[in-house]
Amino acid sequence: MTGEIDNDLPESDTSKILAGVDEAGRGPLAGPVVAAAVILNASYQIDGLADSKTLSPLRRETLANKIRLHAAAWALGIASVEEIDQLNILQATLLAMQRAVMGLGMTPELVLVDGNRTPRLSCPVRAVVRGDATIKSISAASILAKVTRDAILQELDVEYPGYGFAIHKGYPTIAHQRALRELGPSPVHRRSFAPVKRLCTDK
């Protein structure tokens, strides 16, 4: 099903099984895009859920552990660098979201997705602009996605030293772009993204 934008949804609706979905990593020049889907447990409240971008790394890790332990269901979906370059970042993001929802192990009655676009799903789905700040299940998904992607970039920093992936997580910082010019693109850089594409073209 395709989705509709709805910013008037309640934060929780105990009469329905709600899944929140969000992603991390649309803007970076390197690494995969990661999505998470979370169905919160109505009998266990996780305090402090918020947009992952507003939380410190330590707070995100703490909350991510609580989500994994106490959510009714959670799952991750990843779209690779190759899929990003083949499909474009929007379609790869929607694919990662679709994978996350399909991995839940239970079928939600409604899926709430942060932003203004939704993946195609077999269950009802709605887009919620700024949902990561207003819908708890989406906040939880944003935290899991961010923590997971950051961990992946930490690993890529070891595999491909010199780019600073552990610091900037693949985003186009000045230091990252300087390293790109000096070292050239790594196998995990997104060649369809303009700053990387220019370097590949110039070689």
| Kind and range of the H or E run holding 77 | strand 73-79
| Topology classification of domain 4-202 | Nucleotidyltransferase; domain 5 (3.30.420)
The pLDDT value given to residue 202: 56
Q: Which residue has the tokens 């709600």?
A: 18
Q: Kindly state the tokens that stand for 72.
A: 């009714």
Confidence of residue 200 (pLDDT cuts 50, 70, 90): confident
Sequence-ordered alpha helix ranges (H) in the chain: 57-70, 81-87, 89-102, 131-134, 136-159, 165-168, 174-183, 194-202
Over the stretch 54-92, which tens digit does the pLDDT of each residue have? Answer: 999 999 999 999 999 999 999 999 999 999 999 999 999
Q: Is the pLDDT of residue 7 over 50?
A: no
Q: What is the mean pLDDT of the chain?
A: 92
pLDDT digits (tens, 9 = 90+) for 144-159: 999 999 999 999 999 9
Domain spans, the chain? 4-202
What pLDDT does residue 57 have? 95
Task: Indicate the pLDDT class of residue 13, thresholds 50, 70 and 90.
Answer: low
Q: Please answer whether residues 76 and 36 qualify as being in contact, where contact means their C-beta atoms are separated by less than 8 angstroms.
A: yes
Q: Which of 143, 142, 135, 141 is nearest to 13 (CA)?
A: 135
- Across 128-143, average pLDDT: 96
pTM exceeds 0.95, yes or no: no
Q: What is the pLDDT of residues 33-50, one digit of tens each?
A: 999 999 999 999 999 999
